[in-house]
Every structure is written in structure tokens, then in C-alpha cells.
């Protein structure tokens, strides 16, 4: 049997890079970012709770998504902008190509705020405007009606 002889006081073993813990950490980070990105509205980068609708239709592609947060901030591509800046940005984008706009407002946003954003979009000369909503199942709609009738 071969014995490991220790070298002198100043000699050290060659350090090893442990790869398995590094792979575990990378997988954890990957899963974390995938889960976070799935909870955000596409195009806004903001976590919102959309209102429900029975007649929702899936839109294949939208050129730009405008988000409206609970605190009435307008968000495009993760950046908060003003209504005037929104109109200017949309006018600039419209020059290059025909665009459609989807307004994704949190379900607690006042209707007046959504109307102001829609006015800004239409003020930029864009008539193709939609409002994002989640599909609501019939059983969930009945449950909401039942709880509303009980109140």
C-alpha cells in the first residue's frame, strides 16, 4: 500500500475545483429566473394581476405592450414613462412600421387611467389597440356572481 507522504511545512496540495456545487447553483438560478419571468406580463417586465374575461382571444403577436401598474405608472420594456413620452415613442415606432398596441393594466387600476393611456395611443395615430386579460373559466365566473349576490 502506498502511503501519502506529506511534504514539508510549506508545500501544499494542489487545490481542486468542485464542479458539482457550481452546477447546482447554476440550475437553481436558471429555475429562479424562469419562474420569475413567467409571472410577468410579456413586454412590460412588471408583475401584474390581469382582470378576467369570458371572451378573451389569444393574439398571435403584438408589436408593443404598454403596462399600467397599480400605482398608475405607465411601463414599456420595464421602463416607467410619462403619457407624453408614450405618445412620442409610439409616433416614432409608427413611422417605421404598422404597429399594434396591447394595454396590460392591473385589475385594480382605475378605468380613467386606462382611458388616458388609450387616448395617448390613439393620439399617436394607432387604431389597433387591445386590452390584455386572462381567460376566466365559467365555473369561476359563476362563483364570482354567487359571492356578489350574497353581498
pLDDT score, position 30: 93
Please write the tens of the pLDDT for every residue from 100-141: 888 888 878 888 888 888 888 888 888 888 877 777 665 555
DSSP string spanning 33-58? HHHHHHTBPTTT--B--PPEETT---
Share of the chain above pLDDT 90, in %: 6
1-151 is classed in which CATH architecture?
Answer: 2-Layer Sandwich (3.30)
Q: pLDDT tier at 24 (50, 70, 90 boundaries)?
A: very high
In DSSP terms, which residues pair with 130 in a beta bridge? 102
Give the separation between CA 5 and CA 10, rounded to whole angstroms.
14
Please write the tens of the pLDDT for every residue from 51-91: 666 666 665 545 788 888 888 888 888 888 888 888 888 88
Please write the tens of the pLDDT for every residue from 3-17: 555 556 777 778 888
Q: Left, alpha or beta for 112 (phi > 0: left; psi -120 to 50: alpha)?
A: alpha
pLDDT score, position 28: 93
Amino acid at each position: 500500500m502506498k502511503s501519502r507522504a506529506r511534504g514539508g511545512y510549506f508545500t501544499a496540495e494542489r487545490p481542486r475545483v468542485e464542479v458539482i456545487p457550481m452546477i447546482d447553483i447554476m440550475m437553481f438560478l436558471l429555475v429562479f429566473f424562469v419562474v420569475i419571468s413567467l409571472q410577468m406580463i410579456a413586454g412590460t417586465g412588471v408583475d401584474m394581476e390581469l382582470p378576467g374575461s369570458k371572451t378573451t382571444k389569444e393574439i398571435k403577436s403584438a408589436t408593443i405592450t404598454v403596462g399600467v401598474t397599480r400605482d398608475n405608472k405607465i411601463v414599456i420594456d420595464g421602463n416607467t414613462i410619462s403619457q407624453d413620452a408614450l405618445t412620442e415613442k409610439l409616433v416614432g415606432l409608427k413611422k417605421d412600421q404598422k404597429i399594434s398596441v396591447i394595454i396590460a393594466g392591473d385589475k385594480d387600476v382605475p378605468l380613467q387611467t386606462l382611458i388616458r393611456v388609450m387616448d395617448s395611443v390613439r393620439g399617436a395615430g394607432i387604431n389597433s389597440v387591445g386590452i390584455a386579460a386572462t381567460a376566466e373559466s365559467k365555473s369561476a365566473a359563476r362563483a364570482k356572481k354567487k359571492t356578489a349576490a350574497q353581498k
